[in-house]
Amino acid sequence: AAVASPKCTTEPKAKWLTEAQMKAKIAALGYTKIKVFQVTGSCYEIYGMNKAGKKAEVYFNPVNGAVVQNNVD
């Protein structure tokens, strides 16, 4: 069953971090091997590997870069 994406922000896209800024934050958080980087609803969403080397699907608040939801395989 598909899981609906979380609500990450109500701020307009003009206030979001740029893709480059968000990618830098994601790298600083230790995520690697990012296969997918996309906008999903009101979130930035990635598929990649977390610091522990586990597959992760992570939703981020696009305004401050905070992790909103983290699904690890």
pLDDT at position 2 is 52
What does the pLDDT look like over 24-72, one tens digit per residue? 999 999 999 999 999 999 999 999 999 999 999 999 999 999 999 999 9
Residue scoring higher pLDDT (1 or 49): 49
DSSP the chain: -PPPPP----S-GGGSPPHHHHHHHHHHTT-EEEEEEEEETTEEEEEEE-TTS-EEEEEE-TTT--EEEEEE-
pLDDT at position 1 is 45
What does the pLDDT look like over 5-22, one tens digit per residue? 799 999 999 999 999 999
pLDDT at position 3 is 59
